[in-house]
Amino acid sequence: MIVVCIGCWAHAQQPKFVMNGRAQGTTYSIQYFHPTEVVVQTAIDSALEVIDLSMSTYKQNSKITLFNSPETQSIAMDGHMQNVVRKAFAVHKKSKGLFDVTVKPLVDLWGFGPEQIKVFPQQVAIDSALQNVGMDKLRILGKKLVKKRHAISIDLNGIAQGYTVDVLSDLLEQHGIENYLVELGGEIRAKGSKDDGQPFQIGIERPDDTQASFVLRLKDNAVTTSGNYRKTYTMDGKKIHHHIDPKTGYPVQNNIASVTVIAKTAMDADAYDNVFMAMSVADGLKLANALKDTEIYVIYQEGEAFKEAFSKGFYNYVKN
């Protein structure tokens, strides 16, 4: 399933401003209506650089890289890291531990970090990595993030891209922009409407070619998608994807193909799409129906067939 923006812009009575670029290992696209160009590309790139210096594991001088050093016991978090880490703790609790930012040692062990692997990790290596996994081994003390073990390392990629979309959206709103669509790496947030007064429209592909794709109407919401077709590899005839179970130390193996999440913020949607990918269909729907302002669309496999399931309020966003 692919989330794409379709038909987002009618003939504009107000000028339309468009910015595209690369960030966080992917691309971004920002479009907004406003009488004048009040947010320019350099402002967007500056905001992205600040976030990278906070939470990019690929930058040697970032705060998260410093925190992940075995020599570091604690770090004073900046505002961005505080927002993301506090949300991570909240989602960890709601998901009963399925969402866990300390899985980095396991992510690296299974070849989804900076180095690929040629053989599956041995159980002894998995057990060793598990000793340094678990958000109970982290503490927040005011603005400080503290490790209970020196070998603890964190990876915020499962939530930071969605947060970045929210930051860029907030930047637009601070300049009085009320109608916009922000997209980064497939994570989307929209507010207001097109110039014809209609909500922005996001196309969703369904798993069966015999079924017509449908269109979501977003007025002031975010939508993200996670799937087992992303960040995968095949070894010894087995398809391995990057969602790691922090309790077992192994990649999640279930029949979920992809999950699309609608939420009020892109950070919430981004975090929870990882959670729903790791749950059974029934448990995922139960959680989604219990969460406020959260709807999901699940594609799952039964035998050779792909099927789909929806949370109770999902169809409220589907264009008739």
- Cβ atoms of 118 and 109 closer than 8 Å: no
Residue owning tokens 């504009």: 12
The Cα–Cα gap between 101 and 153 comes to: 8
Structure tokens at 135: 């958000």
Task: Name the E strands within the chain.
Answer: 3-5, 16-23, 26-33, 74-76, 138-141, 144-147, 179-184, 187-191, 200-204, 214-218, 220-227, 232-235, 238-241, 256-263, 295-302, 305-310
Has 268 been labeled as part of a binding site? no
Radius of gyration of the chain (CA): 20
Total residue count of the chain as it appears in this document: 320
Backbone angles phi, psi at 166, to 5 degrees: -65, -40
Residue 132 and residue 116 in contact, taking contact as beta carbons nearer than 8 Å? no
Distances (CA, A) of 83 to 184, 228, 315: 19, 27, 31
What is the crossing angle of helices 79-94 and 41-55, to 10°? 60
Residue 136 labeled ligand binder:
no
CB–CB of 297/288 below 8 Å? no
CA distance between the termini of the chain: 20
Helix (H, G, I), strand (E, B) or coil at 244: strand
Distance CA 159, CA 307 (A): 27
Question: From its phi and psi, is residue 73 left (phi > 0), alpha (psi between -120 and 50) or beta?
Answer: alpha
Annotated binding site for Mg(2+): 158, 270
Annotated binding site: 158, 270
